[in-house]
Amino acid sequence: MRNIKPYQIILATSAIVVVIVWVLLFLFCKYIGEIDYLYIFLFGLLVGGLSFVIHFISVERFLHSRIKFIYRAIRKGKMTRETDFHISMKEDVLRNVTVEAKKFLEQRNTEISKLKEQEEFRREFLGNLAHELKTPVFSIQGYILTLLEGGLEDENVNRLFLERASKAVDRMTGILDDLDEITKLEADKIKLLIKRFDIIDLAKDVMESLDFLAKEKNITLRFAKKYDPIYVKADRGKIGQVLTNLIKNSISYGSENGETTIRLFPMEDTILMEVADNGAGIEEEELPRLFERFYRVEKSRNRHEGGSGLGLSIVKHIIESHGQTINVRSTVDVGSTFSFTLEKG
């Protein structure tokens, strides 16, 4: 019964009408008067044919009028003419409607789930942004109030507080600059200047520029071994930004007297580069969200490090804008390793 088509039902009912007409005519011949059997046969076929046509048109119009409203509700495209919607009586119309309605329901459920995720992300993003900006704003407010309440005349206080307020302003500027950059990256508004360069040379420059930060925690920045020049095709400035963010990250969350190690592995068409530390590590359940904007691990401790919370998100966008991938693996109390690929030069 599940695969019966509408025209089959109409054909069956028409056949029943033919049989009934034949039976009635045979009874008429037997008890009332004789009629040629050929006429009985042809008359029965004629009645059956008319019955089929009438039923077919009636059922088709009935189904069309009812099902059309369902399709109007579940189809995304606008139906402007009657020809935009057509049902075939040779198909299982009700089954087709069920399938279409199920697809529509699944699509709607998917859309609703995405909208809920986006709304949750929006709330979390705005909350995190407010928190990130609130810290430097409150600092600036406190310093200015202290100066206005008499500290401005105290030479031992005024310069110190102005310098601290300036640092808070710099942090706010850094957050806004990072937000501006990540917005442009997401909208593909930043043009990459792809050229061939030595990634070893770039890594050395970045490590030298961050050496003073590493010395504050007595962290050693080093290569895993001595490398010959390795050439890649990428935007040198953007990849420098990637290395800066990753090495800064390893210093900020690395252990005192620890080390940050750079490793490179030539592959078929790409170069795999790793930035590894032997710090506290990250819990496995935290890893999938690590590249989200403003997402922090051990939030109370990490905010003292003073980053914008956008560094890893920017890193991910830069690498993906090059058509490459970035991953992270980490073990608690062992350390973390960020690895990304670049096209061979």
Backbone dihedral angles phi then psi of residue 154, each to the nearest 5 degrees: -90, 110
Output the six-digit token pair for 185.
């990256």
| Whether residue 285 sits in one domain with residue 226 | yes
Q: How far apart are CA 323 and CA 250, in angstroms?
A: 24
**Residue 98 is assigned to a structural domain of this protein:** no
**Residue 237 is assigned to a structural domain of this protein:** yes
pLDDT of residue 119: 75
pLDDT of residue 297: 64
pLDDT of residue 195: 94
| Whether residue 78 sits in one domain with residue 123 | no
Helix (H, G, I), strand (E, B) or coil at 131: helix
pLDDT of residue 299: 44
pLDDT of residue 39: 65
pLDDT of residue 145: 83
| Pairing between β-strand 220-223 and β-strand 231-235 as defined by DSSP bridges | unpaired
pLDDT of residue 324: 93
Number of folded domains that form the chain: 3
pLDDT of residue 70: 66
**Residue 99 is assigned to a structural domain of this protein:** no
Question: What CATH number does the domain containing 237 carry?
Answer: 3.30.565.10
| Whether residue 314 sits in one domain with residue 244 | yes
**Residue 58 is assigned to a structural domain of this protein:** yes
pLDDT of residue 300: 38
Domain hosting 213: range is 194-344
Containing 170, the helix (H) or strand (E) segment is: helix 155-186
In terms of Cα–Cα distance, which of 286, 338, 335, 332 is closest to 312?
338
**Residue 151 is assigned to a structural domain of this protein:** yes
pLDDT of residue 1: 44
pLDDT of residue 229: 94
Q: How far apart are CA 118 and CA 121, in angstroms?
A: 5
| Whether residue 199 sits in one domain with residue 163 | no
| Whether residue 258 sits in one domain with residue 144 | no
Q: How far apart are CA 259 and CA 315, in angstroms?
A: 21
| Pairing between β-strand 259-266 and β-strand 220-223 as defined by DSSP bridges | parallel
**Residue 20 is assigned to a structural domain of this protein:** yes
| Whether residue 66 sits in one domain with residue 31 | yes
The domain boundary residue, chosen from 186, 202, 229 = 186
| Whether residue 203 sits in one domain with residue 177 | no
pLDDT along the chain (345 residues), means of 10: 58 70 67 62 68 69 64 55 55 68 78 75 68 77 80 75 82 76 72 92 94 91 94 94 92 89 92 92 85 64 54 88 92 91 91
pLDDT of residue 77: 46
pLDDT of residue 170: 80
**Residue 104 is assigned to a structural domain of this protein:** no
| Whether residue 313 sits in one domain with residue 230 | yes
| Whether residue 337 sits in one domain with residue 201 | yes
**Residue 203 is assigned to a structural domain of this protein:** yes
Instruction: Report CA torsion sign: 85, 90, 95, 100.
Output: negative
User: For the whole prediction, is pTM greater than 0.75?
Assistant: no
pLDDT of residue 239: 94
Structural Rg of the chain based on CA atoms = 38
Question: What CATH number does the domain containing 149 carry?
Answer: 1.10.287.130
Strand ranges in the chain using DSSP code E only, listed in sequence order = 194-198, 220-223, 231-235, 259-266, 270-277, 326-331, 335-344
